[in-house]
Structure 1
Amino acid sequence: MKIGFTLPQMGPLAHEAGEVARFADEAERLGADSLWVGDRLLAPIEPTVGYAGGDSIPEAFHSVLDPFAVLAVAAAATESAHIGTNILNAPWYAPAILARSLTTIDLVSAGRLLPGFGTGWSPEEYRAAGIPMEQRGARLDECLDALDELWSAGPARYEGRYWEVPPTNIDIKPAQRPRPPVYLAGFAPAALRRVARRADGWLPVCAPGARAFDPASINGPMATIRDFAEELGRDPVAIDLVLRVSPFPDASVDLIAQTIARAGDETGVDHVFVEMMNLAGTVDESLDGVQRILSATRG
C-alpha cells in the first residue's frame, strides 16, 4: 500500500509556509510515498452551499496557500515521493496557464506529478474566479481536451466554446510522456462516466470519525466506472484510483490505520493519502502524525 499525506497548505499549518520544504523532505524520509495539495479560493461568510453537504465552511479554509507554489516547493525538496493535486478546480484556470504550471512542476519533480481535477462546489468561489458555475462541467471537458493538445507533440491549437489556444509552438513538455496521468474526482453519474471516458484514475474519499468505512462506497462507483469504460472500448483494469482519507478531528491514529487496512483488504485501493489539516496545529505535530500513522500501518 502506498501511503501519502497532505502538505502544510491549509488551516493552522498554512501559517508555517516557510516549513513546506522541511515537511516534504522529512515526510519522504519517514516513508511517505506521496504528498498532496487541494484547491480552495474563499471561505465565504454566508455560503450559498456549505462544505460536504453542510451549511458552513470549515475554519481550516480561512487559511490556504497557493497549490502550485506549494507543489513546486515540495517537488524541489524531494526525490522519490509522488506529488499530487486532489483536487484542482480546473474550470477556474485557462488551460494554457494550467498546462504551463503543471508542466513546470512535472519537470522540477522529474516526472512525479499526479494531477487530479474536479469542478468544486462553491458558487462564491466561482464568482471570485469570474467563471459561471453552470458551465463547470463543460469547461472541465474542454480544459482536458486543451491540455491533451498542449501536451502533445508539434504545434498546439485548441478552439472550444469556452477556451481557446491560438496556434502556438511549445517546446517545453512534461517529463512524463505522453503526459502526466490525469485523475478525476466526483461521485455523480456524469462524473463517473467522465472518469471512464478520459481519465487514468479516480479520486474517491472517506472520512474516518464521521462514519464507519464502507467498502461499497468505493467498490460500487468503481464497478460503474469500469462498466462504462468497457462500453467505451477502454481497458477497465487500467483505470487507477487513489483514496483520500479525510479524518474528522477526533479520529485516532488507530482508526485511521484501520481504515487504510480495510481499504487495502476490501477494495481495489493500493494508494491512499491522509489529509492532515484536522489532525495537527503545527508542522512538527503534522510530522509526528505522519510517523505515527506510518508506524501503525506498516509496523
Structure 2
Amino acid sequence: MQIGFTLPQFGPLAHQAGEVARFAAEAERLGAGSLWVGDRLLAPVDPTVGYGGGDSIPEVFRSRLDPFALLAVAATATERVRLGTNVLNAPWYAPAILARSLTTIDQLSGGRLLPGLGIGWSPEEYQAAGVPMHQRGARLDECLDALEALWTSNPARYEGEHWRVPATYAELAPAQRPRPPLYLAGYAPAALRRVARRADGWLPVCVPGPWEFDPATVNEPMRLIRDLAGKAGRDPGELGMVLRVYPAPGTSLDQVVETLTRAERETGAGHAFVEFMNIARTVDEALEQAEKILRAAGVRSRG
C-alpha cells in the first residue's frame, strides 16, 4: 500500500507555515507515497451545519492555510510523491481559475497532481465564497465539463448555465495527458453516481479511534460505483480509490496502523493517507508519527 500524509495546514500546524517545505521533503525521504491538502475557508462562530454531522466546528479549523500555495511549495520541495487535494470544494471556484491553478501545480511537480474534488457542506463558507449552495451539485458537474474543455482543447470554450468560458487559447496544458486523474468524494447517491459516470476514482473516508474499521463502508459503495460505471459503458476496473484516514482526537498510532492494515487486506485499497490535524501539534511530531506509521507498515526510507 502507498501511504501518504496531509501537509501542515490546520490548527497548530498552520502556525508553522515556514516548515511546510521541510515537512514535504522529509516525508518523501521517509517513504511517503503522497502529500495532501484540504479546503476550509471559514470556522463559523454559529454554524448552520456542523462538521461531520455535528453541531460545531472543530477548533483546528480556526487556523488554516491556502491549499494551492501549500501544493506549490510541496511541488518544488519534492521529486516523487503524488500531490493530492482532499478535497477542493470545486463550486467555489470559477473553472478557468481552478484550471489555471491546477495546471500550474501539475507543471511545477512534473505531473504528480492528483486532484480530488467535492461540494462541501458549510452554508457559511458558500456565503463567503459568493456562490449559492443549492447549486453546488450542478456547478460541480459543469466544472468537470469546463476543466475537460480547458485541458483538452485549444482554443477552448465552455457554455453552461452557471459557468461560462469565452473562446480562449489554451496552449499550456497540465503535464499529465490528457489531464490529471480526477477523484471525487461523497457518499450520497448522487455523489456515487457522479463518481461512476465522471471520475477516475473515489475518495472514501474512515475515522480510527471511536469506531472499529468496517470494510463494508468502503466495499459496498465501491461495488455500487463499479456496477454503475459498467452500466454507463465504462470499464469498472479503471476506477481507482484512495482511502482518507481521519484519526479522531486521542487516537493511537497503533489504531491508525491497524486501520491501514485492515483496509489493505479487506478492501484491496492500494493507496491511503493519514490526516494529522487531530494527532500532531508540531511539524516534528507529525514527522515522527509519519516515520512510525511507515515503518510499522513495512515502508522503507528512501534516504
Alignment size in residue pairs: 299
Matches of 1:176 and 1:18, distance apart in 2: 29
Matching residue of 1:91: 91
Matches within 5 A, 1:224-243: 224-243=224-243
Which whole-Å CA distance do the structure 2 matches of 1:40 and 1:135 have between them?
Answer: 19
Aligned match of 2:49: 49
SS of equivalent residue, structure 2 residue 153? coil
Q: CA deviation at 1:205?
A: 0.3
2:242 and 2:34 map into 1 onto residues whose CA distance is 11
Query: Is the 2:152–2:178 Cα contact (8 Å) retained in structure 1?
Result: yes
Are 1:274 and 2:274 matched, yes or no?
yes
Hey, what does 2:13 align to over in structure 1?
13
5+ residue gaps, structure 1? none
Letter in 2 for 1:141: D
Assess if the C-alpha contact under 8 Å between 2:154 and 2:168 holds in 1: no
Which whole-Å CA distance do the structure 1 matches of 2:154 and 2:258 have between them? 48
1:71 matched to 2:66: no
Alignment of 1:26-41 (within 5 A): 26-41=26-41
Q: Distance in 1 between matches of 2:29 and 2:21?
A: 12
Find the aligned partners of 1:249 and 1:42 in 2 and give their Cα distance. 21
**After TM superposition, what 4+ stretches of structure 1 lie above 2 angstroms from structure 2?**
none
- C-alpha distance in 2, partners of 1:222/1:7? 27
State how far apart, in whole Å, the 2-side matches of 1:53 and 1:198 are. 26
Deviation at 1:296, TM superposition (A): 1.4
In the alignment, the residues of structure 2 paired with residue 183 and residue 268 of structure 1 have an alpha-carbon distance, to the nearest angstrom, of 17
Q: Is the 8 A contact 1:253 1:296 kept in 2?
A: no
Q: Which amino acid aligns with 1:25?
A: A
Alignment of 1:90-109 (within 5 A): 90-109=90-109
Conservation of the 8 A alpha-carbon contact between 1:242 and 1:272: yes
- Are the aligned partners of 1:155 and 1:170 in contact in 2 as well (CA < 8 Å)? yes
Partners of 2:13 and 2:245 lie apart in 1 by: 18
Deviation at 1:182, TM superposition (A): 0.1
Task: Look up the match of 2:2.
Answer: 2
Secondary structure of the 1:294 match is: helix
Identity of matched residues, %: 70
CA distance in 2, matches of 1:246, 1:127: 27
In 1, Cα distance between equivalents of 2:247 and 2:284? 18
TM-score (norm 2): 0.98
Task: Give the superposition deviation at 1:84.
Answer: 0.2
User: What corresponds to 1:287 in structure 2?
Assistant: 287
Tell me, yes or no, if the aligned pair for 1:185 and 1:204 is still in contact at 8 Å: yes
- Structure 2: runs of 5 or more not aligned: none
Give 1:250-261 correspondences, 5 Å limit: 250-261=250-261
Structure 2 SS opposite 1:72: helix
**Residue aligning to 1:248:** 248
How far 1:170 moved relative to its partner? Answer: 1.1
Q: CA deviation at 1:225?
A: 0.2
CA separation in 2, counterparts of 1:107 and 1:239? 24
Matched residue SS, 1:4: strand
Residues of 2 paired with 1:282 and 1:233: CA distance? 47
Q: After superposition, what is the alpha-carbon deviation per residue over 1:162-182, rounded to whole angstroms, capped at 9, x for unaligned?
A: 000000001110000000000
Establish whether residue 118 from structure 1 lines up as the match of residue 115 from structure 2: no
